[in-house]
Amino acid sequence: MNNKKPLTVLVIILILLLAGGGLWYYFGQDKTFRLYGNVDIRTVDISFRVGGRLDNLAVDEGDTLKRGETIGTLDKAPYENALHQAEANVAAAQAKYDLMTAGYRNEEIAQAQAAVHQARAAWQYAESFHQRQQGLWASRTISANDLDNARSARDQAKANLKAAEDKLSQYHTGNRPQEIAQAKASLSQAEAQLAQAKLDLADTTLTAPSDGTLLTRAVEPGTMLSAGSTVLTLSLTRPVWVRAYVDEVNLNRARPGSEVLVYIDGRPDKPYHGKIGFVSPTAEFTPKTVETTDLRTDLVYRLRIVVTDPDDTLRQGMPVTIEFAPRQQTGEPHNG
């Protein structure tokens, strides 16, 4: 009996050691949460807003561009001609509007007044002649036809006087408000066409919309382009972000604003830093281009991770590994 007691104690100690070793092994393992994704740099298709013959391109594939840098031009001659025509139309519309608002000249008003005096004298003579003819008709000295002719001449002279007076009144009053408004509208239309002609001419010069690297040069000088035709494709320097996917079980670990480390195979010991900027509200199937250790048909949620310290090493489509805590606190090397 005494020999069995030490053996029992030894077995208990061995069991405790094994249990402790198991716990140490379990809790000592790397519990870093990893995701896998690809670098997704944004690109811009650059085009002219107007059509025409491509005159020159000042850049080639691989060139680094700065925002606002001139990178190409179209043949400007057609747009310069259109600008000159628009300027002439504005000048004509302005002259017509000025004429409408200025009214009639003093010389024109004086001529109208003279016409009124002349028409009044003619009417007075025709009225006096008609009265004399009435007296002669009463004594049967003239025929009825002569009296009718005198009455007709009087009425015509009266109508001429009324027309001359209306013309003088128009000269004193000036043009009608509707005519002035119409002239002003024509001027505004001509000015708008001039502004568009200036914009079209400016659009014959193509500038870089953002900093970046030129990926594709699609056309060559001499090509006839329509408005909106792609001329160059630019890879933007900023922002650089990673597209990754997380399953529903770990969705609570991938919250917007969470900081992560981004590893590439070429820099296993020097991670980039990133921050989750977007989590898709809907689930989808994992794309075949994403390498994960789970089944590709699992439903996952798309993440957009903005890299806060990118450099030229990160390339479009490059596979990356994203690590959450605890590795991001220690900064220890990535072992795959």
Hunting for tokens 């811009």 — which residue is that? 44
Say if residue 27 is exposed, middle or buried (CB neighbours under 10 Å; 0-12, 13-18, 19+).
exposed
Confidence of residue 92 (pLDDT cuts 50, 70, 90): very high
**324, pLDDT greater than 60:** yes
CB 232 within 8 A of CB 46: yes
Structural domain for 116, as ranges: 83-199
Q: Are residues 37 and 89 in the same domain?
A: no
- Mean pLDDT is lowest, of 112-116, 123-127, 254-258, 284-288, for 284-288
Supply the mean pLDDT for the chain. 82
Q: Are residues 163 and 308 in the same domain?
A: no
- Mean pLDDT is lowest, of 78-92, 239-253, 291-305, for 291-305
Query: Does 17 fall in a domain?
Result: no
Q: What is the mean pLDDT of residues 256-271?
A: 89
d(CA 301, CA 248): 7
d(CA 322, CA 262): 5
Query: Does 53 fall in a domain?
Result: yes
Q: Are residues 115 and 183 in the same domain?
A: yes
Query: Does 15 fall in a domain?
Result: no
Query: Does 65 fall in a domain?
Result: yes
What pLDDT does 85 receive? 97
**CA distance to 21, 38, 83, 230, 317, per residue, from 42 (Å):** 50, 13, 37, 16, 11
What pLDDT does 329 receive? 41
Query: Does 3 fall in a domain?
Result: no
- Mean pLDDT is lowest, of 87-91, 117-121, 270-274, for 117-121
Residue that is last in its domain, among 236, 255, 285 = 236
User: Domains in the chain: how many in total?
Assistant: 3
Query: Does 132 fall in a domain?
Result: yes
The kind and range of the H/E element at 101 are helix 77-102
Confidence of residue 331 (pLDDT cuts 50, 70, 90): very low
Q: Which residues of 136-165 are buried (b: 16+ CB within 10 A; e: fewer)?
A: ebeeeebeeeebeebeebbeebbebbeebe
Cα of 229 vs its chain's centroid, Å:
16
List own/partner pairs for 165-173 with CB under 8 A and 24 or more apart.
165/116, 165/119, 167/112, 167/115, 167/116, 168/109, 168/112, 168/113, 168/115, 168/116, 171/103, 171/104, 171/108, 171/109, 171/112, 172/109
Confidence of residue 28 (pLDDT cuts 50, 70, 90): very low
Residue 146 contacts by C-beta under 8 Å, 6 or more apart in sequence? Answer: 133, 136, 137
Residue that is last in its domain, among 188, 212, 236 = 236
User: What is the reported pTM?
Assistant: 0.60
Q: Are residues 87 and 175 in the same domain?
A: yes
Q: Are residues 49 and 132 in the same domain?
A: no
The CATH code of the domain that includes 231 is 2.40.50.100
Q: Give whichever of 77-86, 147-156, 229-238 has the largest mean pLDDT.
A: 77-86
The count of C-alpha atoms lying within 13 angstroms of the C-alpha of 123, restricted to the half-sphere facing its C-beta, is: 17
Helix, strand, coil percentages, rounded to 5, for the chain = 45, 25, 30
The three-class DSSP label of residue 315 is: coil
Query: Does 126 fall in a domain?
Result: yes
Q: What percent of the chain has pLDDT over 70?
A: 81
Q: Are residues 289 and 301 in the same domain?
A: yes
- Mean pLDDT is lowest, of 11-20, 53-62, 137-146, 237-246, for 11-20
Q: Are residues 87 and 195 in the same domain?
A: yes
d(CA 246, CA 223): 47
d(CA 321, CA 292): 10
Query: Does 120 fall in a domain?
Result: yes
Q: Are residues 54 and 34 in the same domain?
A: no
CB 305 within 8 A of CB 260: yes
CB 26 within 8 A of CB 321: no
Q: Are residues 139 and 231 in the same domain?
A: no
Residue 50 contacts by C-beta under 8 Å, 6 or more apart in sequence? Answer: 74, 79, 200, 203, 204, 227
d(CA 227, CA 43): 20
Q: Are residues 191 and 246 in the same domain?
A: no
Residue that is last in its domain, among 181, 210, 236 = 236
| Each residue's pLDDT tens digit, 98-125 | 888 776 666 776 787 788 788 888 888 8
What pLDDT does 172 receive? 63
What is residue 29's DSSP assignment? S
What pLDDT does 240 receive? 87
**169, pLDDT greater than 80:** no
Q: Are residues 174 and 282 in the same domain?
A: no
What pLDDT does 220 receive? 95
The CATH code of the domain that includes 318 is 2.40.30.170
205 vs 278, higher pLDDT: 205
The residue count for the chain:
336
| Each residue's pLDDT tens digit, 175-221 | 678 888 899 999 999 999 999 999 999 999 999 999 988 989 999 99
Q: Are residues 130 and 143 in the same domain?
A: yes
**CA distance to 101, 107, 167, 237, per residue, from 97 (Å):** 6, 20, 21, 53
